[in-house]
A = this chain, B = another copy of it.
C-alpha cells in the first residue's frame, strides 16, 4: 500500500513539482514552506537537505522554468523555415498560451515584482531569462532583415510581456488573443523600409 506513483518519484522532484504549481498560482511570499512540504508529502528535514533555504528553492524553480521555456521555444520554431516565420510562430504560440485558462501570466515577472532588488537570487534568475528572450527576439529580427533589430526586438518583447500581463490581470478571454496579429503587423512594418523612416 501507499505505492502511489507520487511516492515513487524522488523527494527533490516532488518538491520542485509542487513548488512550481503553488508558486505560479499564488506567488512566492504567499506560499509557505509548510504548505509545500505538506502537499509534496515530504518531511521537513528532507526538504532542507535538498534546499538550504526557501530562496534556494525559488531560484531552483525559476531555473527549471527557464529551462522548460527554452525547450518550448525550440519545439515551436523547429519546423519554421526562416527567421520571420519563426518570429510569427512564436507569437502564435504566445497567443494560444495566453488565452488558455491555465495561463496565469509570467512567473519571472512575478519574481521581479516580489523581489525588486536586482541582486536578489530570484530576480537575478528571472532577469537572466528575460535578457535571453530579448536577445533571441532581437537576433531573429536581425536575421529577418529588420532595419533596426533592437527596436523590433524590444517591441516584440514588450508585446510578449504585455500578453502575459493580460492573462494574469484579466483572466481567460483577454486581449492577448490579438498578440499574434499585432506582432505580424509590426514585423511587416519594420521589414518594409518605407514605414520606418524617422519622424
Contacts and interface: CB of A to CB of B under 8 A. Distances in A.
A189 B126 CA distance: 33
A105 to B, nearest CB: 7
B162 A159 contact: yes
Contact of A162 (B153, B160, B185, B196): B160
Number of copies: 2
The bracket for how many chain A residues form the interface is 35 or more
A40 interface: no
Contact of A185 (B158, B171, B195): B195
A97 interface: no
Interface of A: 25-27, 29-30, 104-105, 108-110, 112-114, 116, 118, 126-127, 130-131, 134, 150-155, 157-163, 165-166, 168-171, 175-179, 181-182, 184-186, 188-190, 195-196, 199
